[in-house]
Structure 1
Amino acid sequence: MNAPVRTQSSADSSVQSSDPARRSSAELIRAEEPVLAHNYHPLPVVVARAEGTWVEDVEGRRYLDMLAGYSALNFGHRHPALIEAAHRQLDRLTLTSRAFHNDRLAEFAEGVAALTGLDMVLPMNTGAEAVESAVKVARKWAYDVKGVPDDRATIVVAADNFHGRTTTIVSFSTDPTARTGFGPFTPGFRVVPYNDLAALEAAVDETTAAVLIEPIQGEAGVIIPDQGYLAGVRELTRRTGCLFIADEIQSGLGRTGRTLAVEHEGVLPDLVLLGKALGGGIVPVSAVVGRRDVLGVLRPGEHGSTFGGNPLAAAVGSAVVELLGTGEFQRRATELGTVLADGLTALLGRGVLGFRARGLWAGVDIDPVFGTGRGISERLMAEGVLVKDTHGSTIRLAPPLTITAEELRSALGALEKVLAHGA
Structure 2
Amino acid sequence: MTGPSRGPALPQERRLVTEIPGPRSRELMARKQAAVAQGVGTVMPVFAARAGGGVLQDVDGNSFIDLGSGIAVTTVGNSAEAVVRRAAAQLERFTHTCAMVTPYEGYVEVCEELARLTPGDHEKRSVLLNSGAEAVENAVKIARVYTGRQAVVVFDHAYHGRTNLTMALTAKNMPYKHGFGPFAPEVHRVPVAYPFRWPTGPDNCAEEAAAQVIDQITKQVGADNVAAIVVEPILGEGGFIEPAKGFLPRVERFARDNGIVLVADEIQSGFCRTGRWFACEDEGVVPDLITTAKGIAGGLPLAAVTGRAEMMDAVHSGGLGGTYGGNPVACAAALGAIETMRELDLNARARRIEEIMKGRLTALQEKFGVIGEVRGRGAMLAVELVRPGTKEPDPESTAAVARHCHRSGVLVLTTGTYGNVVRFLPPLVIGEDLLNEGLDVLAEAFAGLG
TM-score by length of 1: 0.90
Q: CA deviation digits over 1:304-352, x for unaligned, max 9?
A: 2111122112211122222334471001101221111000011013243
Partner of 2:403 in structure 1? 378
**Does 89-98 or 364-373 show the bigger shift?**
364-373
Partner of 2:313 in structure 1? 296
Partner of 1:16 in structure 2? none
Cα distance in structure 2, aligned partners of 1:213 and 1:179: 19
Partner of 1:156 in structure 2? 153
1:193 aligns with 2:191: yes
3-state SS, counterpart of residue 34 of structure 2: coil
Alignment of 1:266-415 (within 5 A): 266-281=284-299, 283-326=300-343, 328-348=345-365, 349-350=367-368, 351-367=370-386, 371-390=396-415, 391-415=418-442
Q: Residue 368 of structure 1 contacts residue 393 of structure 1 at CA under 8 Å; is this kept in 2?
A: no
Alignment of 1:167-206 (within 5 A): 167-177=164-174, 178-195=176-193, 196-202=209-215, 203-204=217-218, 205-206=223-224
**What stretches of structure 2 of length at least 5 have no aligned partner?**
1-12, 194-208, 389-393
Cα distance in structure 1, aligned partners of 2:279 and 2:152: 21
- Aligned to 1:209, which of 227, 234, 243? 227
Cα distance in structure 2, aligned partners of 1:334 and 1:158: 27
Q: Residue 372 of structure 1 contacts residue 392 of structure 1 at CA under 8 Å; is this kept in 2?
A: no
Cα distance in structure 2, aligned partners of 1:404 and 1:223: 26
- In the alignment, residue 104 of structure 1 is paired with which amino acid? G
Partner of 1:247 in structure 2? 265
Q: CA deviation at 1:235?
A: 1.1
Cα distance in structure 2, aligned partners of 1:166 and 1:373: 28
Cα distance in structure 2, aligned partners of 1:158 and 1:59: 43
Partner of 2:47 in structure 1? 46
Partner of 2:28 in structure 1? 28
Partner of 1:419 in structure 2? 446
Cα distance in structure 1, aligned partners of 2:316 and 2:342: 31
- In the alignment, residue 101 of structure 1 is paired with which amino acid? P
Partner of 1:86 in structure 2? 87
Cα distance in structure 1, aligned partners of 2:60 and 2:239: 32
Q: CA deviation at 1:367?
A: 4.7
**Does 243-252 or 401-410 show the bigger shift?**
401-410
Cα distance in structure 2, aligned partners of 1:115 and 1:3: 35
Partner of 1:13 in structure 2? none
Question: Percent identity over the alignment?
Answer: 33
With over 3 angstroms needed to count, the CA separation of the structure-2 counterparts of 1:298 and 1:127, relative to structure 1, is same
Partner of 1:18 in structure 2? none
TM-score by length of 2: 0.85
Q: CA deviation at 1:353?
A: 2.9
Cα distance in structure 1, aligned partners of 2:373 and 2:24: 38
Cα distance in structure 2, aligned partners of 1:211 and 1:221: 20
- In the alignment, residue 296 of structure 1 is paired with which amino acid? D
Q: Residue 270 of structure 2 contacts residue 279 of structure 2 at CA under 8 Å; is this kept in 1?
A: yes
- Aligned to 2:135, which of 117, 130, 150? 130
**What stretches of structure 1 of length at least 5 have no aligned partner?**
7-21
- In the alignment, residue 173 of structure 2 is paired with which amino acid? P
With over 3 angstroms needed to count, the CA separation of the structure-2 counterparts of 1:91 and 1:208, relative to structure 1, is same
Partner of 2:202 in structure 1? none
Q: CA deviation digits over 1:31-84, x for unaligned, max 9?
A: 211321122242222211111110111110100000101110111111111111
**Does 388-397 or 48-57 show the bigger shift?**
388-397
Cα distance in structure 1, aligned partners of 2:386 and 2:224: 45
- In the alignment, residue 158 of structure 1 is paired with which amino acid? F
With over 3 angstroms needed to count, the CA separation of the structure-2 counterparts of 1:420 and 1:190, relative to structure 1, is same
- In the alignment, residue 337 of structure 1 is paired with which amino acid? E
Q: Residue 122 of structure 1 contacts residue 287 of structure 1 at CA under 8 Å; is this kept in 2?
A: yes
Q: CA deviation digits over 1:280-304, x for unaligned, max 9?
A: 11x1000000000100112222222
Q: Residue 374 of structure 1 contacts residue 388 of structure 1 at CA under 8 Å; is this kept in 2?
A: no
Q: CA deviation at 1:376?
A: 1.6
**Does 219-228 or 300-309 show the bigger shift?**
300-309
Q: CA deviation digits over 1:363-385, x for unaligned, max 9?
A: 21235589432222121012110
Aligned pair count? Answer: 399
Q: CA deviation digits over 1:371-414, x for unaligned, max 9?
A: 43222212101211000112433211110011122222111111
Partner of 2:9 in structure 1? none
C-alpha root-mean-square deviation of aligned residues, in Å?
Answer: 2.0
- In the alignment, residue 382 of structure 2 is paired with which amino acid? G
Partner of 2:196 in structure 1? none
With over 3 angstroms needed to count, the CA separation of the structure-2 counterparts of 1:272 and 1:327, relative to structure 1, is farther
- In the alignment, residue 270 of structure 1 is paired with which amino acid? D
Q: CA deviation at 1:181?
A: 1.3
Q: CA deviation at 1:23?
A: 7.0
3-state SS, counterpart of residue 104 of structure 1: helix
**Does 329-338 or 171-180 show the bigger shift?**
171-180
- Aligned to 1:111, which of 93, 102, 113? 113
Cα distance in structure 2, aligned partners of 1:420 and 1:168: 42
Partner of 2:206 in structure 1? none
Cα distance in structure 1, aligned partners of 2:36 and 2:152: 35
Cα distance in structure 1, aligned partners of 2:55 and 2:344: 23
